[in-house]
Structure 1
Amino acid sequence: MRRRLIVTSGAGVLGIAVLNTLTGCSEKEADTPQAEESVNAGNVVVGDWQRVNLDFVSVYLLIRGNEVAVVDTGTSSAPAGIEAGLKAAGHGWDAVKHVIVTHQHQDHAGGLAGVAPAINGTIYTGADEVEAITASKPLKGLADGDEIFGLRIVGTPGHTAGHISVFEPDSGVLVAGDALNNMGQLTGANPQYTADMVAAAASVKKLAALDVKAILPGHGEPLTTGASDALQKLAASL
């Protein structure tokens, strides 16, 4: 079963790619396998962060001058959308020096098949995820507290054993992967796809201890106002 992915930048359509239906973390993907999904490439969300919106999952670009970090890579057909996002921001694959994959699920790591050969940079993921992710280049494992490009790695196990989130202390931006979702309201990891809900709840409480000002989830809309309050309420409910 396949879907068409319409890649747009501004008002122009850059191209159409075909997505194979993959097992992922979002019920919407499974429920609407033939839906057409537009990619809003180069969409600034907050500060230096831009979103590549693949409808059921998002990839985030941190652009600082001529250097770019990419957090998550979407499905195997997502690189076209990521490239469109880079072009909309005035960059190409050569600017990508860091790729951080939050976890092994194919709607977050599947795009590595196209991203890895295109970049001359380092690919990172949680130390406990390295063996579960296939890529044409070596992956560097990260631990809680490691820093990459001014970003702090936060170990957030539960959704998967080695799931990581990415926190930018200077701005308070948290890229949460699937540790948090914002499908209408802020929630923790989706139980349907989560290995250990007790650990996932503990990870939410850990994130709530950070000075978070904006949350960029893998699924759902970025939360750029009231993020701290919403996260505190969620943590208190678990």
Structure 2
Amino acid sequence: MSSILQPIAEGVIRIDLQFHGRPQVIAAYLLYDGREAALVETGPTSTAEKLLASVQAAGVPLEALRHLIVTHIHLDHAGASGFLAQRMPWAKVYVHPVGAPHLADPTRLIASAARIYGDLLEPLWGKVIPVPADRLVVVSDGERLQVAGHTLIAFDTPGHARHHHAFLDETTGLLFTGDIAGVRIPGVRYVRPPTPPPELDLEAWSASIARLRALRASALCLTHFDVHREDIEWHWEDLERRLWDWGHRIRELLEENMEAAEIIQHLRAQADEELRAAGADPELYDVAASYESLVAGYLRYWRKRAASARS
């Protein structure tokens, strides 16, 4: 198979969605048992046609694709769910209880994303289409999904977002992590925490990491990006350390009355130096998790904490 389609276990294929022509930015995972198929992550609408073409290139007829499972409702993970539900009226969309209303009516989801991306929202992510309410399947913590010959267990994993699940495939031991396991480019020992507003919660994220570490998964299947097997414990440690190190440093800069733009420059300089030391091109990480969104999430988190302490 091409580099776009990468078999990772029996009946599981990683699909590189080639986000705006860039490899290794957004992945979706295709499960197929010869009779029915499921996707973990739909990606954004801007890559939906590539996704469908890749599913067919993997030898899976679209009629077999009946389960669309999203880890959370951010546009790079679930933005195409409405488009795909419209294209494939036989498919169901599986989503966290907190996220389900926002897929049925994405008005607030779009407004939140527009505050970050402005006029670039639709060019980047494509048009967000509502998912009909009768096509949504609300998934609870601990629920087992029997799909495409696999059993996926949902784990409520807040920290990055309140509407976040990770899914453990009991059949293969693979853990589909969404964003809770961070951003990591293949071949690089460096994990970046994606910390966009408005729901970043550092304590909840640490608790989610502890919960998932205890599963002893055989591999971490990141949406951003690829499958990581050899150094799972190191991966979790690197993510959690950087999550808190950056948080503490940004709080210090905020307490020094530094403006957001200056904090972004400071974090960019520090992180770019770390990435070059790890042998990575900083730009590869920026596409999946920009410094602007990272800093915005931390600033909102610390300001909310300060306001809560005063009340």
Shorter-chain TM-score range: 0.7 to 0.9
Distance 1:206 1:190, change over 3 A: same
> Which residue in the other structure is 1:6 paired with?
none
Of 213-222 and 129-138, more deviation after overlay is shown by 129-138
Residue by residue over 1:169-197, the C-alpha shift from the partner in whole angstroms, topping out at 9 and shown as x without a partner, is 23110000011122333647412455212
Shift of 1:75: 0.9
Residue by residue over 1:39-80, the C-alpha shift from the partner in whole angstroms, topping out at 9 and shown as x without a partner, is x44321233221111232111111112211101111112221
Partner SS for 2:155: strand
Partner SS for 1:180: coil
> Which residue in the other structure is 1:28 paired with?
none
- Out of 76, 92, 97, the residue aligned to residue 122 of structure 1 is 92
Distance 1:234 1:174, change over 3 A: same
- Give 5+ residue unaligned stretches, structure 2: 18-22, 105-129, 245-311
Q: Which has the larger radius of gyration?
A: 2
Whole-Å separation in 1 of the counterparts to 2:57 and 2:10? 16
Paired residues, what number? 200
Residues 1-238 of structure 1: matches in 2 within 5 Å?
Answer: 10=2, 40-54=3-17, 55=23, 56-119=25-88, 120-134=90-104, 135-138=130-133, 139-149=136-146, 150-181=151-182, 182-183=184-185, 184-185=188-189, 187=191, 189-193=193-197, 195-227=200-232, 229-231=233-235, 233-234=237-238, 237=241
- Residues 66 and 91 of structure 1 are in contact (CA less than 8 Å); yes or no, is this contact kept in structure 2? no
Partner SS for 1:195: coil
Identity percentage of aligned residues: 25
Shift of 1:234: 4.7
Of 91-100 and 217-226, more deviation after overlay is shown by 217-226
Higher helix share: 2
TM-score by structure 1 length? 0.76
- Residues 5 and 16 of structure 2 are in contact (CA less than 8 Å); yes or no, is this contact kept in structure 1? no
Whole-Å separation in 1 of the counterparts to 2:76 and 2:239? 26
Partner SS for 1:222: strand
Residue type of the partner of 2:132?
K
Residue by residue over 1:134-179, the C-alpha shift from the partner in whole angstroms, topping out at 9 and shown as x without a partner, is 4332222111110112111111111111200111123110000011
- Residues 46 and 224 of structure 1 are in contact (CA less than 8 Å); yes or no, is this contact kept in structure 2? no
- Give 5+ residue unaligned stretches, structure 1: 1-8, 11-39
Distance 1:185 1:201, change over 3 A: farther
Residue type of the partner of 1:97?
R
Residue type of the partner of 1:88?
A
Whole-Å separation in 1 of the counterparts to 2:47 and 2:236? 33
- Residues 213 and 225 of structure 1 are in contact (CA less than 8 Å); yes or no, is this contact kept in structure 2? no
Higher strand share: 1
> Which residue in the other structure is 1:16 paired with?
none
> Which residue in the other structure is 1:22 paired with?
none
> Which residue in the other structure is 1:4 paired with?
none
Shift of 1:201: 1.6
